[in-house]
Amino acid sequence: MRISFLIALPAIFFQSIAWGQSANIDRKVDSVLALMTLDEKIGQLNQLSSDFVATGPITPDGDKQDRVRQGKVGSYLNMTGAARTRSLQAIAMQSRLKIPLLFAQDVIHGYRTIFPIPLAEAASWDLSIIERSARIAAIEAAACGIHWTFAPMVDIARDPRWGRVMEGAGEDTYLGSLIATARVKGFQGKGLGSLDAVMACAKHFAAYGAAEGGRDYNTTDMSLRRLHEVYLPPFKAAADAGVASFMNSFNDINGIPATGSSYLQRTLLKGDWKFNGLVVSDWGSIGEMINHGYAADMTDAAKKAITAGSDIDMESRAYAGQLADLIKRKEVNESVIDDAVRRVLRKKFELGLFDDPYRFSDEAREKAAWNAPEHRQAAREMARKSIVLLRNDSIKKISKPILPLSNVSGKKIALIGPLVKAIGDNNGFWSYSWPDDSTRIVSLWNGMENKLGSTKNLSYAKGCELTGSDTSGFAAARLAARRSDIVVISVGETGNMSGEAKSRSDLKLPGMQEQLVKEMVATGKPVVVLISAGRPLVFNWISENVPSIVYTWWLGTEAGNAIADVLFGDYNPSGKLPMTFPRSEGQIPIYYNHFNTGRPFKNDTDNIYVTAYTDLRNSPRYPFGYGLSYSKFEYGKIVLSADSMSVGGSIRAKVTITNSGTYAGEEVVQLYIQDVAASLVRPVRELKGFQKIRLAPGESREIEFVITEKELAFYQEDLRFMAEPGQFRVFIGGSSAAEEGISFWLKAR
Ligand code: NOJ
């Protein structure tokens, strides 16, 4: 294969390949570039989607394969499977220069083995298992010809109305940056060129998560300081971790569509950050600059995008249609095109595609990787770690909490609700369906059956659908509940209710589901509610009236097994919320690291002239970082190694944590810092460190955090990142609501 591929190439190219893999890729790239016509160069910047999977509005576009044959397409998205990618690659091999195609796909949370949605994974606060999840996704995707995943999404999201919160790591910049790094490392493994590595893509650059009103694709407007402080660090972390590509975003920022932003793509990314990977537009986002009112027509859009640093045009056809004329008219310099093409070719060389364009399309490897039992095992482990226990109060009847259910072995359990037997929903948005899903995906019902070894003590009633107003199933649900000792109710969104273009203004449980829960509580039986969703939902009545509540997000292939592990105590829940849960949509945006106002709300005064709602509390339903365990963790007093430190120095903060419960368990110990007075207003607190520890019953451990200038620094008005001398308050605890801060001073040198 390698030989026949090379024979057709001109001598200069042959010579460049003879240098071997380790030779200087840039020189190889230049030697290919030297052979290319302008049309062939533009072809490398043109990305088309297959009609096989649609992840955007497909434009009917004649014979796409013929374009591949003519060298007019450089990359293809949504073409999956070893056989399909191989056959399209074979068509690319009929083009004059035989430049291989790049195959891209949104492999967001697993490919064949589906892992929890990214927001759920973030709830684990476990970087190594998150990295492993991405690693396994890469192994499975790479084996079927995919070279490039459009992940991780590293957008900070503070608005649960935005459907794409499911796809990121939540609201916090510090946690989000660490998770961005872990995911990039996972996807890219030992580096491009390994057969099990795929190119990662940090998206959506930038501030897509700040869409006004939480409405997808909407405008964003913010100070440069906020952009740098809150939204950009996860992108910088991805770049520092060696991410191969960036995708720009649909939104405009301060009036300039991100796709046309030279500041973001040229000044920051390719300039200050020295990023030498490639930048792909989002689907159609070059052409959409016309709708934004930022480009007069496709020609103007193409010119603005390429000038601003968008290297590849995904599905706008703007580059394919307009760039050649723009160059002829000298409105765009060919060196701009050359730079973009070099970035694309470099990745193709790094992936080893010039050596063997089919190296990733291997049906035998595809089959083996897809059915690896260790992938499922890892998916179950990841899913267990993603689950968040929101409430588990003692109930009178048994004078202890209902969970774990091992407390009540042998009792009859009624499984009620529209999601008990759900299969496909468990995968959530951004996942692929496979013909054997119905036997591969573990529903809650199957997970419970697997756990108990039979369905003897289980009964089931759906109660109602996920949506709609039909309550005719309530009577059967009531009957099943009355005949049981415990009622476990599984409610939530449908798996597709969160995701792209899935913004919601109403975050309550859809349909009659809350009513169903009320009916079950009214039976007087002990009730556990499981909530599956792709975002924080609003469920006040349940929060206040149901003693045990478990947030299960969408957990993927192993969902049912993982939930059963947690319900029965085979895994002690340790997840912590990566987003604040509001009491009402009216509180949004609500996030823990907000600024104070000149009139902060205080619980203990009658002063009404404070920042507050007249009809709603300020506090969230559940704060960022919150999550319970079957263990009970007690925090001692924070002890600082000194009461001041100088610029350039450090200070240690110690605290002892004790597991005073009867189960071994894990706790995420979180460090928050507040800059008390500064030249700019600072957040009330910010996450600056965390450690996930495991403690046996009765065990105590002293945890230490080292605080340096970096943890105290922030973006000044002129965007310099530096700490200011003054007072800092430290909080350590099991959530962002940790109390009892202690302070120290940073002294000027
Ligand atoms: C649009 C989405 O915004 C982006 O995240 C995705 O990668 C592309 N479509 C391709 O599916």
Q: What single string gives the DSSP state of each residue in 62-78?
A: S-HHHHHHTT--SEEES
Residue whose CA lies nearest to ligand 1 atom number 4: 282
Q: What angle do CA 391, 394, 400 make, to 5 degrees?
A: 125
- Cis-peptide, bond into residue 536, ω within 30° of zero: no
Relative to the CA of 151, which ligand 1 atom is closest?
A: 7
- Closest by Cα among 336, 313, 379 to 137: 379
- Closest by Cα among 65, 68, 54, 59 to 106: 54
Cα Rg of the chain (Å, integer): 27
Beta bridge partners of 47: 75, 314
**In the chain, where the domains are located:** 1-103+335-370, 371-587, 633-747
Cα(150)–Cα(280) distance, rounded to whole angstroms? 10
Query: Can you tell me whether residue 141 is helix, strand or coil?
Result: helix
Q: Which residue has the tokens 């450690």?
A: 691
- Closest by Cα among 178, 224, 621, 715 to 170: 178
The full length of the chain comes to 749
Residue type, 218: N
User: Does 407 have pLDDT greater than 90?
Assistant: no
Take residue 98 and report the two structure tokens written for it: 């035989």
- Closest by Cα among 406, 709, 330 to 571: 406
DSSP character for 90? H
State the pLDDT at residue 484: 97
Q: Which residue has the tokens 């859809």?
A: 510
Instruction: Output the CA 314–ligand 1 centroid distance in Å.
Output: 9
Helix (H) or strand (E) holding 639: strand 639-640
Give burial (CB, 10 Å; 0-12/13-18/19+) of 60: exposed
Cα(535)–Cα(538) distance, rounded to whole angstroms? 10
Give yes or no for residue 571 CB within 6 A of ligand 1.
no
Sign of the four-CA dihedral 231, 236, 239, 240:
negative
Cα(534)–Cα(116) distance, rounded to whole angstroms? 10
Q: Which among 334-343, 361-370, 593-602 has the top mean pLDDT? A: 334-343
User: Does 15 have pLDDT greater than 50?
Assistant: no
CB atoms within 10 A of CB 59: 12
> What does each C-alpha distance from 223 to 215, 227, 236 come to in angstroms?
20, 6, 18
Give yes or no for residue 55 CB within 6 A of ligand 1.
yes
- Within 8 A by CB and 6+ apart from 409, the residues are none
Q: At what angle do helices 127-142 and 363-370 cross, to 10 degrees?
A: 150
Is-above-0.75 flag for pTM? Answer: yes
Asked if 45 and 319 touch (Cβ cutoff 8 Å), the reply is yes
State the pLDDT at residue 22: 41
Cα(90)–Cα(103) distance, rounded to whole angstroms? 13
Across all residues in the chain, what is the average pLDDT? 95
pLDDT in tens, 93-137: 999 999 999 999 999 999 999 999 999 999 999 999 999 999 999
State the pLDDT at residue 602: 84
Number of H helices, E strands in the chain: 25, 29
Take residue 325 and report the two structure tokens written for it: 């004329």
Sign of the four-CA dihedral 566, 572, 574, 580:
positive
User: Does 18 have pLDDT greater than 80?
Assistant: no
Asked if 137 and 187 touch (Cβ cutoff 8 Å), the reply is yes
pLDDT (average), residues 522-535: 98
Probe target for ligand 1 pocket from 55, 199, 288, with the most ligand atoms within 8 Å of CB? 55
Residue whose CA lies nearest to ligand 1 atom number 9: 283
Asked if 120 and 554 touch (Cβ cutoff 8 Å), the reply is yes
Residue type, 732: I
Relative to the CA of 167, which ligand 1 atom is closest?
A: 5
Give yes or no for residue 106 CB within 6 A of ligand 1.
yes
Q: Which residue has the tokens 């009531």?
A: 478
Take residue 343 and report the two structure tokens written for it: 């970035």
Asked if 247 and 150 touch (Cβ cutoff 8 Å), the reply is yes
286: number of CA atoms within 13 Å, CB side?
33
Give yes or no for residue 56 CB within 6 A of ligand 1.
yes
Torsion of CA 274, 277, 282, 288, to 10 degrees: 60
User: Does 13 have pLDDT greater than 90?
Assistant: no
User: Does 1 have pLDDT greater than 50?
Assistant: no
Residue whose CA lies nearest to ligand 1 atom number 7: 150
pLDDT (average), residues 663-685: 98
3-class SS string, 328-393: HCCCCCHHHHHHHHHHHHHHHHHCCCCCCCCCCECHHHHHHHHCCHHHHHHHHHHHHHHCEEEEEC
Fold matches, 371-587 and 633-747:
no
DSSP character for 59? P
User: Does 3 have pLDDT greater than 80?
Assistant: no
Confidence tier at 749 by pLDDT (50, 70, 90): confident
State the pLDDT at residue 254: 98
State the pLDDT at residue 51: 85
User: Does 215 have pLDDT greater than 50?
Assistant: yes
Take residue 473 and report the two structure tokens written for it: 């199933």
Determine which of 49-58, 181-190, 558-567 has the lowest per-residue pLDDT on average.
Answer: 49-58
Instruction: Output the CA 150–ligand 1 centroid distance in Å.
Output: 7
Known active-site residue 282: yes
Cα(198)–Cα(196) distance, rounded to whole angstroms? 7
Query: Can you tell me whether residue 703 is helix, strand or coil?
Result: strand
Asked if 189 and 197 touch (Cβ cutoff 8 Å), the reply is yes
Beta bridge partners of 748: none
State the pLDDT at residue 19: 36
State the pLDDT at residue 10: 39
Residue type, 300: D
State the pLDDT at residue 14: 36
State the pLDDT at residue 409: 67
User: Does 371 have pLDDT greater than 60?
Assistant: yes
Residue type, 714: F
Cα(157)–Cα(624) distance, rounded to whole angstroms? 12
Instruction: Output the CA 554–ligand 1 centroid distance in Å.
Output: 20
CB atoms within 10 A of CB 714: 19
pLDDT in tens, 244-269: 999 999 999 999 999 999 999 999 99
Give yes or no for residue 636 CB within 6 A of ligand 1.
no
Instruction: Output the CA 147–ligand 1 centroid distance in Å.
Output: 16
State the pLDDT at residue 142: 96
Take residue 542 and report the two structure tokens written for it: 């349940």
Percentage of residues of the chain with pLDDT beyond 70: 97
Probe target for ligand 1 pocket from 162, 247, 249, 498, with the most ligand atoms within 8 Å of CB? 247
DSSP character for 114? B
> What does each C-alpha distance from 106 to 201, 283, 357, 363 come to in angstroms?
10, 12, 21, 20
Take residue 218 and report the two structure tokens written for it: 């909407």
Residue type, 746: L
648: number of CA atoms within 13 Å, CB side?
2
pLDDT in tens, 541-589: 999 999 999 999 999 999 999 999 999 999 999 999 999 999 999 999 9
- Kindly provide the residue ranges of all beta strands, DSSP E only, lying in 145-241, ordered along the sequence: 148-149, 201-205
Take residue 264 and report the two structure tokens written for it: 């973001």
- CATH superfamily for 371-587 is Glycoside hydrolase family 3 C-terminal domain (3.40.50.1700)
CB atoms within 10 A of CB 250: 21
Cα(258)–Cα(204) distance, rounded to whole angstroms? 9
Give yes or no for residue 203 CB within 6 A of ligand 1.
yes
Instruction: Output the CA 399–ligand 1 centroid distance in Å.
Output: 50
Helix (H) or strand (E) holding 42: helix 38-44
Give yes or no for residue 187 CB within 6 A of ligand 1.
no
Asked if 473 and 418 touch (Cβ cutoff 8 Å), the reply is no
DSSP character for 465? -
Q: Which of 155, 282, 311, 565 is catalytic?
A: 282
Confidence tier at 23 by pLDDT (50, 70, 90): low
pLDDT in tens, 429-451: 999 888 899 999 999 999 999 99
Give yes or no for residue 725 CB within 6 A of ligand 1.
no
CATH number of 633-747: 2.60.40.10
Cα(488)–Cα(517) distance, rounded to whole angstroms? 10
Residue whose CA lies nearest to ligand 1 atom number 3: 282
Torsion of CA 142, 148, 150, 155, to 10 degrees: 100
